[in-house]
Amino acid sequence: MDRTRVPRVTVDALLVAADNALRALFAPARTDRSPPGLPDPSPLAEADRRHVAGLMRVNHAGEVAAQALYHGQALLARGADTRAFLVRAAAEEGDHLAWCEQRLRELGDRPSLLNPLWYAGSFAIGAAAAAVSDGLSLGFVTETERQVEGHLAQHLRQLPEDDQRSRRILETMQSDEAGHADAALAAGAVSLPLPLRALMGWTSKLMTRTAYWL
């Protein structure tokens, strides 16, 4: 375990954290990065449109939670390299957030009404993990991203065959999530205890089932 003292949180750091939260929750998500080969949107039958919108709402909520997790971890990260990794990962999750938000608009639908709850809970979890050690914090990254990969694989199987636009977005996200997990592991992530992994999985399922509708 990293016995280095938890860094002192400055007023500037708290203001940055507050700004990050407001941007993730209330500002239009922006990105200069586009998924490769994104096709034009195809018209969908109403039932398919509603289902795809539910899936993309879940993914958007997941990206809000990922932003919060990484922001909370970066706030209390001990090592400069760990903090830099978390900030980079959060920026890539911001790309995902923008893609999901754009796709929801194209589908004529909205993000989850519970996004502030997802953000607050994930930020608290990230900060708590970082307060223990960078290794545990990175372990949360690895486990979170592995679980997200699984969710994305399920969603890819559920997409209508003619919705190639959503498919390309989720495939690119899945590749990025795998990269985050591998990078965290290489940076010194510790394996989380089985009960903690199970609790994360249960919490993720609760968010997934709720965000699909709300």
Per-residue pLDDT of the chain (214 residues; tens, 9 = 90+): 455 566 677 777 777 777 778 778 877 788 878 877 788 888 899 999 999 999 999 999 999 998 898 999 998 988 889 989 998 888 888 899 999 999 999 999 999 999 999 999 889 988 988 888 899 989 989 998 898 999 999 999 999 988 999 999 999 999 999 999 999 989 889 988 888 888 888 888 888 889 999 9
Q: How far is CA 197 from the centre of its chain?
A: 17
3 within some domain? no
168 within some domain? yes
Which sign does the torsion angle of CA 108, 114, 120, 126 carry?
negative
- The CA distance from 46 to 38, in Å, is 22
For residue 74, the domain's CATH number is: 1.20.1260.10
Q: What is the DSSP letter of 27?
A: S
Residue 94: domain span:
47-213
38 within some domain? no
Number of domains comprising the chain:
1
61 within some domain? yes
- The CA distance from 3 to 184, in Å, is 19
The tokens describing 30, both together, are 């922006």
27 within some domain? no
26 within some domain? no
9 within some domain? no
1 within some domain? no
